[in-house]
Structure 1
Amino acid sequence: MAQPPISELTDRARDIFRLVVEGYLSDGVPVGSKTIAQGQGINLSPASIRSVLAELERLGLLSAPHTSAGRMPTEQGLRLFVDGMMQVAEPTREERAAIEQRLAGPGPVEAALEATSAILSDISGAAGMVLVPRRNPRLAQMSLIGLDAARALAVLVGMDGTVENRIVELDDSVSASALQQASNYISARLAGRTLPEAVRAMEAEIASGRSALDSAAADLVGRGLAVWSQDAARRPVLIVRGQANLLDETALGDIERVRSLIDDLESKQSVADLLDSAREAKSTRIFIGSENRLFALSGSSVIAAPYRDREGRVVGVLGVIGPTRLNYARVVPMVDFTARSLGRRIG
């Protein structure tokens, strides 16, 4: 059934519908006519309210889990509420300061991504997710510095100014001249290329005998570049924190749904693909339940927003995942602000 536009509902139906949705999102339990009648702003008898609830149920916006129970919003109803009725609660000055302070800590980009995922979990009471940026910097310089007979330190400098260090394991003792020759070769011949481009060019030159490197230096070049190729392959595409929040007291009566959701999170690539679909969104995107086939069984919602660098380029996506009764009005603007704060941190 196609959902009716919000304009087709009477003022009375809109008011009652809003109270049901807000009550359910707040407490996680169906809302009955008696509860609505006792609230503020509705001057109707329980019988009249029940009549409106029945009409909203007929329209597919509400459902009754049990014959004598109150009503709760359907996924269609939640979509209508989110798109047409929700009034977002912007983060307070204190909340904004707390988020920025947690992201301002020292350390590599990965530390900021971990902190972001934890922040999103805390503010939503659900699980926080961050899609790791696709980083493929162009090389400016790489140096190999001997540490001892079995190890060298590979220092990679990107053209964007980033500096990273990795330990390279050596099979045999390598001379200082071989380390210098390999460093000079990489910096002079491979600068300006991305890591995959550098690896391909290096392999082609050495295989053809055009590199003018001796065997020891050629081996060092291969090891120095391979350590970053392996590292990139091992990096997670998605950081998830706060899965334990999904196992709250309201989940005990719907344990199969929660188990399905946790299984979805274990398949990180599928969730990452969903987040990636929000990469080109101009604002926060909301996926509710079976609107996305990944969550058809778990009935979960995802709130996602892209984050950008200082040039405005999208570098990743972050968000939260939880039951459809997420506090959308609070979480949506918090996700949006966190995305902008992370962009400034890593820009």
Structure 2
Amino acid sequence: MPAPPVTELTNRARDIFRLVVEEYLQSGNPVGSKALAGAGAGQVNLSPASIRSVLAELETLGLLAAPHTSAGRMPTEIGLRLFVDGMMQVAEPTAEERAAIERRLSRPGPIEKALEATSALLSDLSAAAGVVMVPRREPRLSQMNLVQLAPGKALAILVGEDGSIENRLLTLPSGLPLSVLEQATNYMTSRLGGRTLSEAARVIGEEIASGHSELDGASRDLVERGLAVWSEDATMRPVLIVRGQANLLDETALGDLERVRQLLDDLENKQSIAELLESARDAEATRIFIGSENRLFALSGSSVIASPYRDREGRVVGVLGVIGPTRLNYARVVPMVDFTAQSLGKLIG
């Protein structure tokens, strides 16, 4: 059932509900009336009996639940949604935390290293699993060079219009003359200019198949080898980088091992996770999926905090986020995910 609006709760019920949720998110344990009674921080100046009455009211509304009769209360998924949408006060990252995030992500290296660092960083910040969707980028190409390294070995160097350079090792037929490398290089470069790899591969493939390529047998074979190594590389790249699964096996997980096992199984299905994160691609801000709100993690009762990240021109190129138990520290993790998405976006050309 849908959660009642926050405005329909009395001030007393709202205060007690907020304290129960905050304590539960911090400890992972149900919260009892005795823990709430008093005048100190995190307490209300009411008797345990009065607090129990309010807790029962909140349970009737579907916002709280008791795992068993003698236990305290814990928020339901409906209660967590009400808290996140209407009551949570986010804790923005400090200047030191922002600087640390930007330093960690801006270390020298290819973009894949930055993506791995982002996933590990999100895991560290949330004490859960960090996930990053790899950008679906096909840069426009400038040229491909084939450079012989040793007998039987060559380096296939792909140069993008944006100045990016990648290379792969290529095995050559024995005794192949350098003139064949030159012919293959000139042919591919003339067809690559301004095209993506998939576009160039299609054009070159059609020319070779039709016999209009003006290549001899050895050069044609070398062109096909060069395209094959790059095309295979593109299809083998992961769609998702996941780090920090071990964080899910904390002390509080020992009492709910079946849920954690289900969550770890879900994390192995990276394609399904990528499809879930894809639904956050068009979001204006960080999205939060709680428990059964998403089908993938319905059985494990897990939450997902996801945010799109953009390139320097403002185009969404991927999604990153955190996956963990529903008792995530949303107030801290949500702004951290949002800031990390902004920081990663500054590195994407």
TM-score tier, shorter chain, comes to over 0.9
TM-score (norm 1): 0.98
Within 5 A, what are the aligned runs for 1:38-57? 38=38, 39-40=40-41, 42-57=44-59
Within 5 A, what are the aligned runs for 1:135-284? 135-284=137-286
Q: 1:9 and 1:174 mapped to 2: Cα distance? A: 80
Q: 2:99 and 2:192 mapped to 1: Cα distance? A: 43
Q: 1:14 and 1:257 mapped to 2: Cα distance? A: 30
Corresponding residue for residue 121 of structure 1: 123
Assess if the C-alpha contact under 8 Å between 1:141 and 1:187 holds in 2: yes
Assess if the C-alpha contact under 8 Å between 2:191 and 2:203 holds in 1: no
Structure 1 stretches of 4+ moved >6 Å: none
Q: What stretches of structure 2 of length at least 5 have no aligned partner?
A: none
Q: 2:191 and 2:270 mapped to 1: Cα distance? A: 38
Give the 3-state SS of the residue equivalent to 1:307 in structure 2: strand
Q: 1:207 and 1:225 mapped to 2: Cα distance? A: 14
Assess if the C-alpha contact under 8 Å between 2:6 and 2:82 holds in 1: yes
Corresponding residue for residue 35 of structure 1: 35
Within 5 A, what are the aligned runs for 1:7-156? 7-38=7-38, 39-40=40-41, 42-156=44-158
Q: What stretches of structure 1 of length at least 5 have no aligned partner?
A: none
Give the 3-state SS of the residue equivalent to 1:152 in structure 2: strand
Corresponding residue for residue 312 of structure 2: 310
Corresponding residue for residue 2 of structure 1: 2
Give the 3-state SS of the residue equivalent to 1:117 in structure 2: helix
Q: 1:244 and 1:33 mapped to 2: Cα distance? A: 33
How far did 1:250 drift? 0.4
Corresponding residue for residue 333 of structure 1: 335
Q: Which of 97-106 and 327-336 deviates more?
A: 97-106
Q: 1:130 and 1:173 mapped to 2: Cα distance? A: 45
Q: 2:343 and 2:302 mapped to 1: Cα distance? A: 26
Assess if the C-alpha contact under 8 Å between 1:190 and 1:201 holds in 2: no
How far did 1:122 drift? 0.3
Q: Which of 213-222 and 243-252 deviates more?
A: 213-222
Q: Which of 268-277 and 154-163 deviates more?
A: 154-163
Give the residue type in structure 1 aligned to 2:246.
A
Give the residue type in structure 2 aligned to 1:158.
G
Assess if the C-alpha contact under 8 Å between 2:154 and 2:169 holds in 1: yes
Q: 1:173 and 1:15 mapped to 2: Cα distance? A: 81
Q: 1:339 and 1:189 mapped to 2: Cα distance? A: 36
How far did 1:346 drift? 2.4
Corresponding residue for residue 345 of structure 1: 347
Give the 3-state SS of the residue equivalent to 1:185 in structure 2: helix
Give the residue type in structure 2 aligned to 1:268.
K
Q: 1:134 and 1:104 mapped to 2: Cα distance? A: 20
How far did 1:25 drift? 0.2
Assess if the C-alpha contact under 8 Å between 1:308 and 1:315 holds in 2: yes
Assess if the C-alpha contact under 8 Å between 1:61 and 1:76 holds in 2: yes
How far did 1:188 drift? 1.1
The count of residues paired between Structure 1 and Structure 2 equals 347
Assess if the C-alpha contact under 8 Å between 1:128 and 1:241 holds in 2: yes
- Deviation string, structure 1 residues 303-322 (Cα, Å, up to 9, x no partner): 00011110001111100100
